Structure 1
Amino acid sequence: MIDYAILSATQAQQQVDELTGVLQACVADGASVGFVDADDDEAMTRFWQQRIGSLSDGDSELFVARQHGRIVATVILSCSAMPNGRHRAEISKLLVHPQARRQGIARELMQRAEQRARVQGKTLLVLDTRSGDVASDLYRSLGWQVAGSIPFYAESTAGVLDATTYMYTVLA
């Protein structure tokens, strides 16, 4: 059974080791999520500490999926802080532990984040993903559109400079 939740900053702080573990496992599996070294515990923990700060400020929400009581997946919904962008939010760090994949967890997390954005009055969501990544297929199946791509955008775990694709969805 898979349980879904939105974590408060306090809850995220208490589970920072589990959050870091999911991130490490995804990077070790080759995910392009901002990190190139799965063994860099310090950088990954620092990343989550910074995100916890944005949870405290109310700028972001952290959705998680738990299986057998442990966090196996995440997604972050971040609202635009600029006055001209109050209608939009960004999706980031859709991470599913390699051992928990192919169970519909990523789809469910995305649908929950989109629904939450609607409740908040958001009408536009954006994200970026490595061009050609399997995640692109998920996003397209959820109705996301490609806005464009940028070559040589991010270094992969293999040391290659990969393109990134920017995507969006207009919320009804």
Structure 2
Amino acid sequence: MVSIRTLDAAEAWAAIPALADLLVEAVDAGASVSFMAPMEFGDAMAFWTEIAGSVAAGRRILVVAEQHNRLVGTVYLDLIPNPNQCHRAEIAMLIVALEVRRHGVGKRLMVAAEAAAAAAGRSLLTLGTRAGDKGERLYRSMGWVEFGRVPRYARSSSGKFEDTVFFYKELTGAKDLAAE
């Protein structure tokens, strides 16, 4: 059984090696998550160290999926701190381990991320994904709305330029919506 939870700062620091393993696997398997293949473990460690630091500083929320005490998925939220944008957050780096894909783990991670965003007072979420990826279908099925496409926006892990689809989702019940 897969469990989903949000990590506090201490748990985020402790999870860095497992998160690095997950990122290396995803990039080397072709995921378009900001890195090029082959992914070096040290680079993945450095990346997740920065993310853990931002969790500790309250700038990000890190959600993970675990199965049999092993990390098998993650997604994080960038909490936008600007005074005129503190109602929103960006979803970043949804990763699911190869062996548990197509079992609803990604959807469960996204549901948890949306709930965490609402609890943090965020009412608007955005994200970008490679056009045609499975993530694009997932986000559409969860009520995310496409608001644009940019050709050749990012490179795949193999170096090929790829189009990116941008989505938004408004969350009902978030704290700032009640104040309107």
Q: TM range, normalised to the smaller chain?
A: over 0.9
Equivalent position of 2:56 in the other structure: 56
Whole-angstrom CA distance in 2 between matches of 1:30 and 1:120: 32
Superposed CA deviations along residues 85-124 of structure 1, whole A, max 9, x for unmatched, are 0110110111001111111111011011111212222110
Counting aligned pairs with the same residue, the percent is 39
- The offset of 1:56, in angstroms, is 0.7
Contact 1:25 1:38 in 2 (8 A): no
- The offset of 1:157, in angstroms, is 2.1
Equivalent position of 2:157 in the other structure: 157
Whole-angstrom CA distance in 1 between matches of 2:136 and 2:24: 21
Equivalent position of 1:41 in the other structure: 41
Equivalent residues in 2 for 1:88-107 (5 A)? 88-107=88-107
Quick one: which amino acid aligns to residue 28 of structure 1? D
Whole-angstrom CA distance in 2 between matches of 1:79 and 1:14: 22
Q: Structure 1 length as normaliser, TM-score?
A: 0.96
Structure 1 residue ranges, 4+ long, deviating more than 2 angstroms after superposition: none
Alignment size in residue pairs = 172
Whole-angstrom CA distance in 1 between matches of 2:17 and 2:11: 12
SS of corresponding position for 1:113: helix
Equivalent position of 2:127 in the other structure: 127
SS of corresponding position for 1:5: strand
- The offset of 1:11, in angstroms, is 1.2
Quick one: which amino acid aligns to residue 76 of structure 2? I
Equivalent position of 1:12 in the other structure: 12
Whole-angstrom CA distance in 2 between matches of 1:106 and 1:155: 22
Deviates more, 1:94-103 or 1:114-123: 114-123
Deviates more, 1:48-57 or 1:9-18: 9-18
- The offset of 1:132, in angstroms, is 1.3
Quick one: which amino acid aligns to residue 13 of structure 2? Q
